Structure 1
Amino acid sequence: MTTLRLNHQQHAFLQAVVDRDSELADIGELVRAAVRDAPAPSPLAFSPSTDPPARTVVEERILQPGTGKAFEVVAGRVVRIAQIEGHQCVDMNVFALGDRRERLHVGRTRGMQGLHPGPGDVLWSNAPWERPIIAIVGGTATTDTQFPFCSRLIYSAFFGVHDRTNCQEIQNEAQREYGLDLWDLHESLNLFMHTGTGPDGEAVIRSNRARPGDYIEFVALLDLLVVPNVCGDDLSNCSNYGLRPVRVTVEEGLPEDADRARAARDRAVVLGLPTPYEGRGALPLKRDRSYVAAFPHLPLRAADVEVEIDEARFARARNTDLYPGDDAAALRDITLSSAIERLGAFAGNE
């Protein structure tokens, strides 16, 4: 017997697929069919690992799956978001502490810095400010500016499931600590998301290649509220069909961090910026000290399934580059990938 490691919302999704497919009697049959039909995986390339510089830590938190946290990051400080177990996508939102109306503008960032901002790039704020607000100064993470946050809509429209962890509701709850409302939500920067181009030129999400210890570092160019959340998507290879914790650290910046941030800003505005907008009636952000986090759809409960599979076929199909020594994670990837294909085929024939 082999363990298919699931949480309760993944188990409910697989059962829903079985219920809609007359060829399947139970989840075990779905798993065996997935292993039988799975292609051999393609080899993957990984970026070389590096270690971050040693700095003075101001604040450090481990964010659990289904949660997020708002961090005050004053100008010149560094915020680092790092993998613990690997494979975990993170959504990151940013607001100006001095005026809640100024915030990260992913569309402007995409237009100015490209689809995948990295070290040496900056992130831009919305109009009428339209200025660099935070600089990427180091790390090994891939980023993406194309895909919107997952939400109740995405799971309802594409998977037929409801009331499950999603970035929209996680972000809403995390930013509530600073009095930000549902309508203050804006598009996030995707961290540790590996994207590419499909056969028809469309943007596609590839397997997540983040490994334990991979990280990305930012230097605040003004006083900011940085709000990362652990992406709630466990039905795609965005996070390789799993939900895992990540570490967020705020540190005092070093002189070399300031130099890198300045260089990134200067590179981005080499021909200059328009006259700075002088905000009228600024609305500063302030922490609600009575705030108690209440993230929806938690706790996530284990719902493992013991199944008999063809071990030889599984050995050929499992991705040893992504899941060295983790058969349960490899089997979950194969099974959920197949289940989603079945669901799509079923929907196309309705």
Structure 2
Amino acid sequence: MTKTPTEAPPDADARRQVVPVICYPNDTLHVPPLDQYRAARDTAQATDHTRIPPRQARCFHVTAGSFFRITCPDGAQVGDLNLFAARNLDERFFSGKTRALHGSHVGIGNRLWSCLPYLRPMATITEDTLSWYGQDEFGGRVHDVIGTRCDPYTHHLLTGQDYHNTCHSNLTRALAAEMGMPLTEAEGHIHDVLNVFMCTGFTRDTGQYFMKTSPARAGDYIEFFAEIDLLGVLSACPGGDCGAEHSSDAATCHPLEVTVYAPKAGQLDGWYAPSYNRYSRRHAPE
């Protein structure tokens, strides 16, 4: 039964004017030593390179203390990124907590956090050639942790059709191939993503998630410092720059590239990989 809107109470304006409170104040978080990271990056040499073809996904590995750069080599292209602890697929990127700690979109100095019960930094953003973008007149920003990833289930729900080159399916196929596991097993590990280079926000009237053409151009990149040993899986979204649609064979798509850089020995003296979250896991009041 559809309910009619209720009449606003006399104190409606007062209720709306209540000052918001930040849910998770982050001023007690450890501040990443960006100066040390950048000094180490200055000495780093490329050690691995992975090219992700349009509408496909590939896996890559990064050792703790190394850097990885995601680049648009040929033109604007959105990428959907999953991260795992290299030797434990149960520890994976937690987009929701990253969003709660840093905001709807991430940038230089923000960290990508792992899921519960681990909850530790997996990677820190150290460079971003799109940091100039800020927020546009529509409320759009780049590199979001609010979108889930395009997937064949939602596509079928909305269109009644099967389409297999969604980011969810791309990530599933790539992880299955890397780990030598069945697709059905790999799919269970695929999780909400960091939408690299994607420009998104929420409409002011309906609050709906929107996307718009990525501001990235050929040569733009975002770079991360690996806080722990990582297995990454990156999909070159079938929506291309996501300026019109995703889960599509019609959009112009480009490849993405991942380059890993290892700094010289001694450049990270005093740095250590973060430990697991130290909550006791008792889950009971004292």
Q: Which amino acid aligns with 1:275?
A: R
Q: Is the 8 A contact 1:208 1:239 kept in 2?
A: no
Question: 3-state SS of the aligned residue for 2:68?
Answer: strand
Unaligned stretches of 5+ residues in structure 2: 1-40, 131-141, 282-286
**Pairing partner for 1:123 from 112, 116, 128:** 112
Mapped to 2, the partners of 1:258 and 1:215 lie a distance apart of 23
**Which residue of the partner structure matches residue 84 of structure 1?**
73
**Which residue of the partner structure matches residue 52 of structure 2?**
63
Matched, 1:145 2:145: yes
**Which residue of the partner structure matches residue 91 of structure 2?**
102
Question: 3-state SS of the aligned residue for 1:204?
Answer: strand
Q: Give the superposition deviation at 1:256.
A: 11
Q: Over the residues paired in the alignment, what is the CA RMSD in angstroms?
A: 3.0
**Which residue of the partner structure matches residue 133 of structure 1?**
122
**Which residue of the partner structure matches residue 260 of structure 2?**
250
Q: Give the superposition deviation at 1:252.
A: 0.7
Matched, 1:174 2:174: yes
Matched, 1:184 2:192: no
**Which residue of the partner structure matches residue 231 of structure 1?**
237
Q: Give the direction of change, closer, same or farther, for the CA distance of 1:214–1:121 in structure 2 (3 Å limit).
A: same
Matched, 1:275 2:281: no
Deviation string for 1:60-106 (max 9, x for gaps)?
A: 12211122111111101111100012221000000001322111011
Mapped to 2, the partners of 1:167 and 1:62 lie a distance apart of 16
TM-score (norm 1): 0.56
Moved over 4 A (4+): 254-259
Q: Is the 8 A contact 1:66 1:232 kept in 2?
A: yes
How many corresponding residue pairs? Answer: 218
Mapped to 1, the partners of 2:63 and 2:244 lie a distance apart of 31
Mapped to 2, the partners of 1:164 and 1:274 lie a distance apart of 37
Identity between Structure 1 and Structure 2 (%): 30
Question: 3-state SS of the aligned residue for 1:209?
Answer: coil
Query: Relative to total residues, which structure has the larger strand share, 1 or 2?
Result: 2
Higher Rg: 1
